[in-house]
Amino acid sequence: MKKLPYYLLFVIAFSYISCSNEGFEEIVADVEEEVEEEEDTNEEEEEDTDITSDNPCDFDLSGIAANSTIIIDCLLDLEGATVNLPANVNFDFEGGDIFNGTLVFSGGYIDGRLLNSDLTTEGDVVLKDPTFIFTPSRWKNIIEGQTTSDIALENNANLENLFYLTKEMEATTFKIDQFDAYFEVTKITPPAVQTFRASKEAVNIPSNFTLLMTDNTHLRTFPAEAGIENGAILAFNDVDNSTVRGGWLHGDREERSYSAADNGLEGSHLIHVQSGRNVTIDSVNFIEGSKGGLTVYSKGFSTNPANYYPTKGVTIKNCLFKDIRRMGISLTDGSDIIVEGNTFINNGQPMPNSDGGEVGYAINVEPARRRDDNGVLLELQKAFDITIRNNTETNSRAGFVTVTIGQDITVEDNDIGTRVVYSLTNGTKILNNRFNAAGSATESWAIFAAGTGETVFNNEIAGNEIAGYTTGIVVSSNEAYVHDNIISDVAVGLQMSKPNDARVIDNDIVASEKGIAATNTFINNGEIRGNDITTTNGNGFHIFFSTLNNTDETRNYNVILEENKFFNSNKVTFANANGVTFRNNDVTGGIELGNATNVTITSNTKIDPSDSDGIRIYGTHTDVSISNNNILEPSGAERYNCINNNSDTPNGVNLSGNTCTTR
């Protein structure tokens, strides 16, 4: 937004498009004044802002003495004059008004209720109260209701200028109650002709400043033309200690036009945070943003520290994100970010006038990075030390959270109706969440641990309660530590798909078809230990490993399953499998081993079959050892045996020390 002359200007700009198409604008920071932080005063009693007098004042200001306090309980018409006041003159409000002129102060204060669009103040003056109450009827240059693009653009400039005017008069809180207006978020403020910057053209919130709105406050996006891909109503642009609290921000998702070439990126956000420090967004309602609800990013790139101004210390709490296109929140650059106590509903879902856009997650963490010509990884943007907790999410098209790239990100204690996925990340933790599938989420997974490579390590999935999905957890990543989760009412509890150094420990799984499965894949240095697994379908599998580690590249890979307990009479199956050790487990049901290589089944404390053999061996085998297992005599048909060795390559199977106990 272009400022009046007494504001600081941003003077250098360059543009950049990140992998997630967020943070399009990166602007070198402007110099800002240091302002002493004031306490939030929004708990004070409501002041009476009404003009109750209709009587002209019987005095003028020509004879005012220094250090006077003038009580305005009448209508003071300055008749277009500029009045130069003596030192330290104060103006108190008692139902009157001052208008049609200019007051030039030399110290002193003015009650904020006397400010209006027909009164200009200059010089050295402060507000009597640091909480300024905005009364729309007193600001004729800020227009409510349906309007034109030009007037909506003027609304941007005039509201922002009023923020900065009151801030210069030492306001710390700007309160808006009953107000409903449109803002043009996609155009450059005349007469400027510079490149469009969404965070500049939005209504900017100053440093050390709180915008306090109520349920009666509605800021609306003026409907954009087709093809427009950026914009925001409000912005925190290179500021410190700033807050927006309450109110409704309405996007233009169902009112704007989209071009035939739209690839899911057209639209605008509702708030931009660019290089914000100690920013709070509290109890704001984000509705129908056409590109997203809120995006958090920084000026410049971390690879160029001299021109990099990172966002740090952003709290997003108690907000509603509803019917947002693409995603509710985008985090592409910043640290020490908390997303807490928010509600996400229907994000990324199609609506009558718009598809759901790309991404489709309620929260997307995706800083940009690339490799240079020498293969060196360059982290252009950084997203780290992020906590997402105590939120509620339902019916997002793709899922609740995707951590595409980032470090030290925690997703904990949320109520989730869809999915969470992480990819090229390290130090990411998905902890103590409650996943209850609803709608199309019942046909998918709850958690997907994805991504491999040098930046994927030390990630954890623990303490989650998962119910109602086709698959509970998919592990397809490096160093995934999956432990102490409770997974129920699923077809497959846990799917292993090309994991490296995965640990699956002390989980409680109740699945109808497969407890843990790995099919047409590999497991490299895997550990599956201490899990309780129940399969409820009579034809189900406790463990189903098929076509595992059987390529030239994976023949030396291995996975160990130990100290697990398997309930209900179903099977543990290893078919076309290589590199498996199954030891010290307690199995209700039988074990099948077909066409296996480098498989050891040893020292299992109980193998308790009913309608199956204790251990059935079929097909061809190489380097298979079955030893020291305690097998109960099958309780089913007489054709079943403790060990049924029907191998086509008996020399490939070593049997020793197994016991067959009569019931």
| Residue range 169-226, pLDDT digits in tens | 999 999 999 999 999 999 988 776 577 888 889 999 999 999 999 999 999 999 999 9
Q: Phi and psi of 386, rounded to 5°?
A: -120, 130
Distance CA(367)–CA(231), nearest Å, equals 20
CB 332 within 8 A of CB 381: yes
Q: Would you state the pLDDT for residue 538? A: 86
Side-chain-side CA neighbours of 285 within 13 Å: the count stands at 13
Write out the two tokens for 80. Answer: 């277009």
Q: Would you state the pLDDT for residue 403? A: 98
The distance of Cα 270 from the centroid of its chain, to the nearest Å, equals: 15
Q: Would you state the pLDDT for residue 21? A: 42
Q: Would you state the pLDDT for residue 188? A: 86
Could you tell me which of 375, 213, 234, 366 has the C-alpha nearest to residue 293? 234
Owner of token pair 């504001």: 7
Those residues whose C-beta lies under 8 Å from the C-beta of residue 629, and which sit 6 or more positions away, are 601, 602, 603, 604, 607, 614, 615, 657, 658, 659
Q: Would you state the pLDDT for residue 22? A: 54
CB 505 within 8 A of CB 532: no
For 512-538, letters b (16+ CB in 10 Å) and e give: bbbbbbbeebbbbebbbbbbbbbbeee
CB 638 within 8 A of CB 648: no
What angle (nearest 5°) sits at the alpha carbon of residue 489, between those of residues 487 and 495?
55
Q: Report the helix count and the strand count for the chain, using DSSP H and E.
A: 2, 59
CB 321 within 8 A of CB 343: yes
* Helical residues (DSSP H) of 169-215, grouped into ranges: 198-201
Could you tell me which of 423, 302, 293 has the C-alpha nearest to residue 16? 302
CB 508 within 8 A of CB 530: no
Distance CA(652)–CA(625), nearest Å, equals 8
Owner of token pair 């309602």: 285
Q: Phi and psi of 222, rounded to 5°?
A: -65, 135
Q: Would you state the pLDDT for residue 193? A: 58
Distance CA(650)–CA(276), nearest Å, equals 70
Those residues whose C-beta lies under 8 Å from the C-beta of residue 228, and which sit 6 or more positions away, are 186, 256, 266, 267, 268
Distance CA(204)–CA(235), nearest Å, equals 5
Write out the two tokens for 426. Answer: 């390290």
Residues, the chain = 663
Could you tell me which of 620, 616, 619 has the C-alpha nearest to residue 636? 616
Q: What is the DSSP string of 267-294?
A: S--SEEEES-EEEEEES-EEE--SS-SE
Taking 70 as the pLDDT cut, the residues of the chain under it are 1-47, 192-193
Q: Would you state the pLDDT for residue 611? A: 86
Helix (H) or strand (E) holding 466: strand 465-467
Q: Would you state the pLDDT for residue 6? A: 30
Distance CA(384)–CA(285), nearest Å, equals 26
Q: Would you state the pLDDT for residue 47? A: 64
* Residue-wise pLDDT tens digits, 15-34: 323 334 455 333 333 323 33
Distance CA(383)–CA(366), nearest Å, equals 8
Q: Would you state the pLDDT for residue 213? A: 98
Q: What's the first-to-final CA gap in the chain, in angstroms?
A: 83
Write out the two tokens for 396. Answer: 């997002």
